[in-house]
Amino acid sequence: LAGIPLHLGRRGDLSEYQGARDRQFYIFPGSGLFKASPPWIVAFSLVETLKLYGRTVAAIEPEWLEQVAPHLCRPAYSDIVWSPEQGFVFARESVSCGGLTIITGRRVHYGRIKPDVAREVFIREALVPGNLRSRGDWLKSHLAMIETIRTWERKIRRPESLLDPQAIFDHFNRLVPADVCSTRDFDRWTQQHDPALAMAIDDAMYPSTTPLVPSDYPDQLMFRGHAYELRYRFAPGHSDDGIVLHCPERLLPALPTWAADWLVPGWLPEKVRALIRSLPKDVRAVCNPLQAIVDDFLQTQHSMPLTQVLAAFLNARFHIAVRPADFDVERLPEHLIMKIAVLDSHGKLLRLIRETPASAPEATQVEPSSAWMPTGLYQTRLTTWPPQSLPEHIVLEKSVRGYPALVDEGKTVGVRLFLDAQLAGEHHIAGLLRLFRIQHHALVANLERRIPLPVPVQLSLSVLGGENQSALEDFVDLVIEEALLPVTADVRRRPGDELADHSHLLLASVATNQRDYPRDAATFHQRVEAARTSLHTLAAERGAILAKIMAERDAFIHKLTELRKARATAASAGSVLAEMLTDIDHQLAFLFRPGFLRAEELWRRYPHYFKALAVRVERLKLDPFKDHTKWEAIRPFQELLDAKLAALPGRPLPPALLRFATLLQEFRVSQFAPEVGTLEKVSPKILQALWANVLDLWRTSLAPTGLAEAS
C-alpha cells in the first residue's frame, strides 16, 4: 500500500471496484479473494485483457492511507457548528485519496484547523445569543437583555424586528482576541483581563423612527384593586395567540365584563380600526379619515364594553345610528381577542376562555360589614327614597370603584353597593320600579285592572306567566319602566327595523343603556309625575303591538292545528311530520316562556320569526323529509340549550345563555327560510364559540349549587 497507494479500489454495487482517478477494475478470477470481494483492496498490478483486472490483491482498511500516504489525502469540512456542551466549534471532516472518499463525517475540533473561521462561528453562535456555558457574570445580564428585546417583539407582534444580531456580533468582534474560539479560551481571557462585555440595550436593537413606549405594553392590568398578569404570545393559528390575562379563579367574579375588550394601549388602535372596518359598507364609508377617528377615540375614557363606547362615539361624531351589534366581532383577527387563563390556587391552568364572564352577584355585592361600605349607605326596608342621593359611583380605594344602587326587596326597597356597574344598573332599575309601585299603588292597580289588552290576549298571557310573576305583571313593569326611564338619545329608524308598527319607538325603549336613571329624590319625584301622565298612553301603544304579536301567534297555532289534521297518511312521512311539528311546538314554547316580555328580542325579532315559521310550515306540507334534514343541523345546538334550560326552572336566562338562544333562533331562520334573511350573522362556528362562552360562565358563576359539577 505504501509503495503503490493509487492501486486501491472500493467495491461497487456488483463485483466491480472503483479505483483511483476514476478507473474501474475487477479482481482477477484466479485470486484467492475473488469470491470474498472485500470492501477495500489494493492490487499489486493492474492488467488489462478482456477487462481491467487487479492481480495479487489484498484487503485493506481505508484509514491506513492517512498513515502511509498523507501527501495524497485531501480533507474537506462541512457542517461547521457550535457545540455548547463541548464548548468549541466542530466540523464534519471527509478525507479523499485519488478521488475516492476514504473517511466520511469524522467529528473534529475546527478551531485547531481554521481558528479564524472558528472564532467567527464562536462569536455568532455562542456569544451573540448567549448560547454557551460560561462562568462569567456577564452572561446573566446579556441573556436578560435579549429576553427583554424578544418580549418586546412579541408585544408588538413583529418577530425578529428589534434584536439586531449583527450589532451584537460587531460588539464582541471588537473585544474578543483573535486566538479565542472556544469557551475555555474565552473564560481564561475574561478572568485575566476582566473586559467590559455588557452592551446597552439600545445598541443591540435595530434603529427605529417610531420609539417604543413600554407603558403601552404593560405586564399586568389593575381591576378593582387586583393585579392581573398578562402574557404575550406570537403564535398565529393557536388558541392562545395574542394576549392572555392570567386570573386566579377566586378573582374571576371581580373582573369587569369589559376588561378583555380594551386589550392594552399598544394594541387598541389596531382593534378599533378592525372594528370600524367590520361595519356595514354604508356606515363604514362615512368613517373617514380612519386613522384620525381612531386617534380621537383613544382619548375617550372607558368602563363599558368597547363596542358600546365606540358605537356611541361614532353616533356622536357622524350623527349616524350605529349599534354595538353592527360591529362584526367574528371578523377580528384571533390576536385581537384577549383570552383569560383561569388558574387554580396553585397557579395551574384550569381553562382558557375567550370572553370575560358576567360577575356573580354574590361576589360583586359589597357586604354591609365590609370596610369598603361607606357609613350610612347601606339601607333596608324603605318605602320612600333613601335619605341621601346615590352617585353613579364612588371611589373605594385607588382604582377600585363602587356603584350604589336601589334594590328590590319585595315589599320594600333598599340600597346596596356593587363592584360591577352593569349589575348595579340592573338592580337599580328593579328598585326604581318597586318604589314606584309602592308609592303609587292605586295608579298601578288601576292600570292592572284596566290593562289595554283584548280579553283573549289577557287570557293567553295569564297562562304564559311563571310561578312568581305573571306575564301581565311583566307587561305592567315594562310600561312603568318606559314611562319612568325615558330614552334621552336620538334613536333613528334603520333598514330592517320595520318589523312591527312603532318598532323604532320600541327599539328606543329597550335601549336601557341610553336611559338616564334617577339618583336623587327630586329627580325621582319629577320622573314619577311625568310617568303618571304618560303611563296609560304608553300602555296602549305597547298593548297594541303585543296584541298584534299574540294574534300572529294564535293564527300560526291555528295553521299548525290544520296541518296536524291533514298530515300525510304514509307511515314514514307521517312520523317525520309529527316529529317536526313537535319541534315547532317546542320553539313556540321557548319564545313564549315565562318572563318572555322582559326579553328585548321580543319587540325586535318575533314578527321576523313568524315570517320564517310560516315559510317553514308551507314547505313542511310538501316535503317533511327535507325539513328533517335541515333540522339535523339545528338539533345538536337545541339539545345543548334544552339541557341548560332544564337546570334553570323558573329562573331568568343568564345573558350569555339568552344570547346563544337568540342566535339559535336566527340559525333556524337561515336553515328553514333563508329568503326571509337573518337579522345578524350566524353559523355553526359562531354558535359553537358562543356555547363555549356559556359553559365558562356556567362553571364560574351562573350554575346553581351542585349543577356545575354535573354539567
Write the DSSP string, 580-608. HHHHHHHHHHHHT-TTGGG-THHHHHHHH
> What average pLDDT does the segment 537-549 reach?
90
499 vs 447, residue with greater confidence:
447
Helix (H) or strand (E) holding 447: helix 441-449
- What tens digit of pLDDT does each residue of 416-455 get? 998 777 678 878 989 999 999 999 999 999 998 888 988 8
> What average pLDDT does the segment 694-705 reach?
44
Geometric angle at alpha carbon 27, from 25 and 31, rounded to 5°: 160
Strands (E), 98-149: 100-109
CA torsion angle 448 449 450 455 (round to 10)? 100
**Least confidently predicted of 220-229, 615-624, 689-698:** 689-698
> What does the pLDDT read at residue 570?
47
Q: Is the pLDDT of residue 234 over 60?
A: yes
3 state SS for 330-352: HHCCHHHCCEEEEECCCCCEEEE
> What does the pLDDT read at residue 708?
29
Peptide bond into 289 cis (omega under 30): yes
Q: Which of 70, 73, 183 is nearest to 127 (CA)?
A: 183
**Least confidently predicted of 19-23, 353-357, 520-524, 600-604:** 600-604
- What tens digit of pLDDT does each residue of 378-425 get? 999 999 999 999 999 998 765 567 899 999 999 999 999 987 776 788
> What does the pLDDT read at residue 127?
96
What's the CA gap between 393 and 212, in Å, rounded?
Answer: 35
Assess contact for 238 and 213: CB atoms under 8 A. Answer: no
Q: Is the pLDDT of residue 130 over 70?
A: yes
Q: How confident is the model at residue 208 (pLDDT cuts 50, 70, 90)?
A: confident
Backbone angles phi, psi at 86, to 5 degrees: -80, -25
What's the CA gap between 338 and 374, in Å, rounded?
Answer: 34
- What tens digit of pLDDT does each residue of 149-165 get? 999 999 999 999 999 99
Q: Could you tell me the CA-to-CA distances from 641 to 533, 578, 616, 679, 710 in Å, in that order?
A: 42, 22, 21, 21, 15
Q: What is the DSSP letter of 244?
A: E
Assess contact for 277 and 284: CB atoms under 8 A. Answer: yes
Is the C-alpha dihedral spanning 25, 26, 30, 36 positive or negative? positive
* Residue whose C-alpha cell reads 464548548 in the numeric block: 87
Geometric angle at alpha carbon 339, from 335 and 344, rounded to 5°: 150
Q: Is the pLDDT of residue 17 over 80?
A: yes
> What does the pLDDT read at residue 495?
32
Q: Is the pLDDT of residue 689 over 50?
A: yes
Q: Could you tell me the CA-to-CA distances from 544 to 107, 380, 457, 591 in Å, in that order?
A: 92, 38, 11, 19
> What average pLDDT does the segment 95-99 reach?
91
Cell of residue 55, nine digits: 492481480
Mean pLDDT of the chain: 84
> What does the pLDDT read at residue 358?
58
- What tens digit of pLDDT does each residue of 288-339 get? 899 999 998 887 756 678 888 898 788 878 878 788 888 999 899 999 999 9
> What does the pLDDT read at residue 487?
60
Assess contact for 111 and 181: CB atoms under 8 A. Answer: yes
Q: Is the pLDDT of residue 571 over 80?
A: no
> What does the pLDDT read at residue 649?
57
Question: Is the whole model's pTM more than 0.85, yes or no?
Answer: no
Cell of residue 642, nine digits: 334544552
Assess contact for 529 and 441: CB atoms under 8 A. Answer: no
Give the count of alpha carbons within 13 A of 578, CB side only.
9
- What tens digit of pLDDT does each residue of 663-682 get? 999 999 999 999 999 988 99
Buried b or exposed e, range 532-544, using 16+ CB within 10 angstroms: eeebbebbebbbe
Q: Is the pLDDT of residue 697 over 60?
A: no
Cell of residue 7, nine digits: 492501486
Q: Which of 272, 251, 255, 162 is nearest to 208 (CA)?
A: 162
> What does the pLDDT read at residue 507?
32
Cell of residue 73, nine digits: 489525502
Q: Is the pLDDT of residue 98 over 60?
A: yes
What is the end-to-end Cα distance of the chain in Å, rounded?
A: 83
What's the CA gap between 419 and 341, in Å, rounded?
Answer: 22
Instruction: Walk across the sheet containing 349-353 and list its strands.
Output: 220-223, 226-233, 242-248, 339-343, 349-353
Q: Could you tell me the CA-to-CA distances from 683 to 102, 383, 602 in Å, in that order?
A: 66, 49, 22
Cell of residue 230, nine digits: 398578562
478 vs 122, residue with greater confidence:
122
Please, which residues have CB within 8 angstroms of residue 266's CB and are 6 or more apart in sequence? 155, 156, 213, 216, 217
Amino acid found at 177:
P
What's the CA gap between 703 and 300, in Å, rounded?
Answer: 36
Q: Is the pLDDT of residue 497 over 60?
A: no
Quick one: what percent of the chain has pLDDT higher than 90? 49
Q: Is the pLDDT of residue 704 over 80?
A: no
Geometric angle at alpha carbon 587, from 581 and 593, rounded to 5°: 135
593 vs 45, residue with greater confidence:
45
Q: Is the pLDDT of residue 692 over 80?
A: no
Q: What interhelical angle do 306-318 and 268-277 show, nearest 10?
A: 60
- What tens digit of pLDDT does each residue of 19-28 get? 998 899 999 9
Q: What interhelical angle do 421-439 and 521-565 show, nearest 10?
A: 90
